[in-house]
Structure 1
Amino acid sequence: MKERLQYIKQQFNVIGNAPLLNRAIEIAMQVASTDLSVLITGESGTGKESFSKIIHSLSPYRHGNFIAINCGAIPEGTIDSELFGHEKGSFTGAIEARKGYFEETNGGTIFLDEIGEMPLGTQTRLLRVLEYGEYVKVGSSKVEQAKVRIVAATNVNLLHAIKDGKFREDLYYRLNTVPIAIPPLRERGLDIFMLFHKFSSDFATKYRAKPLELNPAAKEMLLQYPFPGNIRQLKNIVEQIALLEGEIIVTPEVLIRYLPREHSQMLPVLYENRLLENSNSLNKDFVYTALLDLKKDVKELRELMFNFVGSGSIKKSIVQEHPRLFGVHNHQEAEHKGRYLLDLEQSFEGNGVHAEPAITYSENLSIEAKEQELIRRSLQKNHGNRKNTANDLGISERTLYRKIKQYDIEEQNFKK
């Protein structure tokens, strides 16, 4: 079974060894030789069409045509004609008769992707094909026979669609005879690196460059990233880096530029939790840089809140009621800042001048200090050698040089 599994993977270019992925392929292989309906579920970009091709190639219909239809891409007014065909004059613009996909692939396999987007009227026609193997063309009364293997796929929860009245319950259970669930990329572990290597090799050939390599910190980052676009998104990221970046070694600083902002924002917290489990790791430059940016954003928001309170836009009692929003850590500090804002408001009222108060407050966590400490420790460990220090920290020499200048670190103190 394992040898056959690997053969199928090679034949259909399926990369990975995750248990959930292997199980999905095994089910596809087992159900292929039957006439049972199959419903493939999985997020967008997980490779559902590849599984439909596996089923077709191992089925009695393998000598017939295979066609993949995206139900969400066909307008509601024409989908019946596209699938089942139409007679001449059956509607405006039907200047001649047309064969539908079911007629074209008779004896083969139709893959209906995004089945959840199919209109209810078309669902009724499809149910008749599944139950009786027959259909009627648009504008005709003649019953046509269809000997076609139907494989459906969806990236939405069809049970929810049934509750919302958007999907027929009887069609769902007719399609869902054998379900195949394809795992998202974020649940496939080390498969991410195998796919990255595959895409990197492909694009290196395409752009006549050397294959990209991930450093340890970048690997950790990819394991933590949720990949909402799954394999398709990873492939796009690798191609962009291969095309636009000059460096072969991929670091977190490079990756972060190609990850959508709304999803990359969750990475620092995940990174911090993982790195705290290994306090001996010096590879924290990316984490502290990201946290430093976050700290600056929070500081700006707090100052903006103080300005609103001071100008009267927000009640000054908010400081006492919600001290954590303003970086206040005890009751006395809240009272002090409340009095300060009262004086400030009276000053505004007295002279009519709007001024932005210079607010300073203590922080529990000094990210800059920790970053400096890491750099100093690594410089000391490597006797001031920048190249070795940068490798130790998992950053580029250019970034290390910038940090040394930023923190005014005397390098000669660490040299032999």
Structure 2
Amino acid sequence: MKHLQQSLTLPNGTVLHNRIAKSAMSENLATKQYKPTPALINAYKRWAEDGAGLLITGNVMVNETALGEPRNVVIEDRKNLDILKQWGDTIKGTNTHLWAQINHPGRQAMEQINSELVAPSAVPLKTGGRKNATKKIPRALQEEEIIEIINAFGRTALILKEAGFTGVQIHGAHGYLVSQFLSPYTNIREDKWGGSLENRARFVVEVYRNIRKNVGADFPIGIKLNSADFQKGGFSEEESMEVVKILSKEGIDLIEISGGTYEAPAMMGKGQKKSTVEREAYFLEYIKKARKITDTPLMLTGGFRSGNVMEDAVISGNVDVIGIARPFAIYPSLVRDLFSKEHTTFPTTIKKTGVKGIDGFMNIIWYELQIKHFGQGKTPNPNLSPWYVFLRYSWLILEKKLRG
């Protein structure tokens, strides 16, 4: 695994100690006041001690009126700076970097816990029972609201820097707000924020510039970007390549490649060919093409489970950083085990209820509870009951809804 253990210098001079990154996973581990819980902080401390080159947090929301899940961490101001510093301190004494993934859900906000859904355009989400629910059509953002959200990304990034985080990642994939602006399926605006790709990319460019203005040149900024939406009329591979060029020219430090939305969840393996799943690296063909058009470091996430496949991806020169998500929830010592060769494969097979509508969510909420367990000092449980997970999650939603 010697290539995985090599360091990597990012464009702004930041050095990652090795090529393994914990990609973002939703933890849903904030308090009712949207502050990090001790379990969340302890989970990151354990991951940092394990030795990953980079840890990327799950969604940190920029506005408490736009939540993806009931217990998202939200950073709008400095009122929780002390507890955020405890989160930032989890990497002290290690060579691990800690980046926060900053996000706004847009139309992908959970309607049960948000009083209003907003998006680039009034295009409803066709999943989760929303297909014929006209009352769940999002409201198109006004320009002044767009500017405020851009400013919110920059403000949140600055607070995170003050809290001791060593970088941030813009969530520009999986159907969240940045992704919605990029996609011609969800962005049908006729002003400067819609229409041509240049206009649709304006939002992410302005988010990047605002963050950079706030945090300075020495603080790394990355982005998670879709290779494609995998939806008819959505963000295409060709358009994604153009955005890679745009962001590379802007000076972004790391581009993580994923793909899909929660309407077409390719990032979870849905719709992937059997040969692709067995190969493990879901978006490898895309990243080979991206490598030819940019020198910006590229991180590939989706499907990696075997050390030899990870090593080969880095040896190829097409991939600079290996992104791993769900295995980290089951194998908290993944990096240490991989580099010592105590374990070289990290399968993730979870229990299902057999109810399609429920099992679709299990790919998120089952792993969230595993993270909570080892953050509380428990051992991850591969046999964790899916019905228990579902009922517990339903209670969180109900509790948030009753609380308002």
TM-score (norm 2): 0.28
**More strand per residue: 1 or 2?**
2
Structure label with greater radius of gyration: 1
Q: Greater RCO between the two (CA within 8 Å, min separation 6)?
A: 2
**More helix per residue: 1 or 2?**
1
TM-score (norm 1): 0.27
